A = this chain, B = another copy of it.
């Protein structure tokens, strides 16, 4: 009998235990959803990831105002402590955030007969945007087509649909809507569908297209830390943090051909995504942001973060799992816009703390040297 023929977590995990002579006791124990989550096939249980909170962070954004704890599920030592320290250093002035819904994108590719056919198809799409919008809405009450772009190369016509997917991250409903739209386009223009997803999305791959045009939500967060707090809380100096930032986040990233001009955005994004039930492969999009520092005339430190490719939702996927729901309840929100802003603030705190740590490192060492 094959594993796929068993019906329950219990049966499947027992089958594997026997077959492989292993124990899956804790994998079963960590399973808190009574019913199987239908979408994880051959499910044998659950893995359990430690959940901590950082904060409180004082945040004022477009959809958010107040003090927040940031839930972070992580196995990386000191990550929560680090964000926590950053939050403390930001507390005096608070964090200002902004968020813009660019929309979930899906990028089909079609094939045409010639450049002229491609141009006609592009024109048809452009002239029938209203039709496509209406049609997109027939596929779900929660989806709206907000923009469409076309790029022609050779006999390929790449489309980039942007959808407002309401509270959902929306990749699935965007795929369904896109499939419907390209079938219409195919029928009307005779351009032939190659694939509903042609990497002009770009989904789960780092891409300049997403960095430049944005995807999901574009988030910004900023704060100012007084010279005093840099020294008292972060145990370093404005000059040192600034020098490290310039060398690392700008010059080091440039030299390396990196798309991420930051210290460790991905760490906070990954822990926040794991905590709140987001798709973990979307951590990729969370890694391509930028961190910007500045020294202000009064000697204080300015820090801003820019996250152009944040795919989050508060419904669908892993967001409905019990522990993830509870973790999100710490943030007191059902809005993905708010979720994105809170993430931005958390990333800011994490960046601040790591850059400070790196400069502390040298400071600590210098102290040791002086102490000898």
Given contacts A49-B49, A292-B251, contact A38 B158 (CB under 8 A): no
| A window 126-149: CB within 8 A of B | none
Is A207 an interface residue, CB under 8 A from the partner? yes
Alpha-carbon separation in the docked complex, A151 to B317 (Å): 32
- A186-205 to B contact mask, C-beta < 8 Å, 1/0: 00000001111111101111
Residue total for A at the interface (Cβ-Cβ under 8 A): 150
A263 cross-chain contacts in B, Cβ below 8 A: 199
Q: By the criterion CB–CB under 8 Å, are B257 and A254 in contact? A: no
Given contacts A16-B53, A194-B243, A244-B194, contact A323 B46 (CB under 8 A): yes
Closest B residue to A82 by beta carbon equals: B41
- A267-301 to B contact mask, C-beta < 8 Å, 1/0: 10111011101011101100110101110000000
| Distance to closest chain B CB from A286 (angstroms) | 8
Is A96 an interface residue, CB under 8 A from the partner? yes
| Distance to closest chain B CB from A79 (angstroms) | 8
Closest B residue to A76 by beta carbon equals: B279
Most buried by B among A209, A281, A306: A281
Is A324 an interface residue, CB under 8 A from the partner? yes
Given contacts A109-B247, A154-B294, A283-B283, contact A207 B80 (CB under 8 A): no
Listed in ascending order, the chain A residues whose CB lies under 8 Å from chain B are: 3-4, 12, 16, 20, 22-27, 29-33, 36-54, 69, 73-81, 84, 96-98, 107, 109, 111, 114-116, 119, 151-156, 158, 172, 179, 183, 193-200, 202-213, 220, 222, 243-244, 246-267, 269-271, 273-275, 277, 279-281, 283-284, 287-288, 290, 292-294, 302-304, 306, 317-318, 321-324, 326-327, 329-330, 332, 358-359, 361-362, 365
